[in-house]
Structure 1
Amino acid sequence: MKSHTLWTIVGTATAGAAGILVRQTMKQTFRYGVFEPPVNPDRDDIDWRQAILWGAASGMAVGAARIVGWKIASAGMRRTRRSRRGQRLLARIED
């Protein structure tokens, strides 16, 4: 496996996991603090304000979490490439 492919897998998995974690945390926080997050903003009983607030807040938080996930994965890959043990592991994977 090429190192680029490995980085893509690791980076995407980390970013995705961070996004899912933040979204679930936001759902719980909104339920206890502000309002029940809208499952379907198209329903008639959902206010425009609630739909827009939830969309903006969740979009910004998940986007930021994905960036943090990519940065963490990048730092981990850099640290792995610098250590001897990591180099041996990557050499084994790349073959």
Structure 2
Amino acid sequence: MKPQTLWTIVGTSTAVLSGVVARQSLKQTFRKGVFEPPINPDEDDVEWRQALLWGAASGMAVGMARIVGWKLASAGMRRTRRSRRGQRLLARLED
């Protein structure tokens, strides 16, 4: 496996996972404090304020979580490449 392919797999999976976790935790926070997050903002019973607030909050939280996920994956890959054990593992994966 090429190093670029390995990085793409690790970085993307970390970013996706952190985005999912952020969205689920934001849903729980909204349910406890503000309102029930709208499943479909286009429904008639959803107010504009709720739809806009949920869209802005979830977009920002998921975007930030994805960036943090990419940065953590990048730092982990750098640490792995620096250690002897990590170099052996990466050599096996690259074959």
TM over 0.5, yes or no?
yes
Structure 2 counterpart of 1:53, one-letter code: L
Aligned mates of 2:70, 2:10 — CA distance in 1: 9
Q: Which residue of 1 aligns with 2:2?
A: 2
Gaps of 5+ in 2: none
SS, match of residue 9 in structure 2: helix
Structure 2 counterpart of 1:71, one-letter code: K
Gaps of 5+ in 1: none
Q: Give the RMSD, CA atoms, in angstroms.
A: 0.3
SS, match of residue 5 in structure 1: helix
Q: Which runs of 4+ in 1 moved over 2 A?
A: none
Q: How many residues are aligned here?
A: 95
In the TM superposition, 1:1-95 aligns within 5 A as 1-95=1-95
Per-residue deviation, residues 10-69 of structure 1 (Å, max 9, x unmatched): 000000000000000000100010000000001110000000000000000000000000
SS, match of residue 64 in structure 2: helix
Deviation at 1:85, TM superposition (A): 0.5
Aligned mates of 1:90, 1:44 — CA distance in 2: 53
Per the normalisation by structure 1, the TM-score is: 0.99
Per the normalisation by structure 2, the TM-score is: 0.99
SS, match of residue 42 in structure 2: coil
SS, match of residue 44 in structure 1: coil
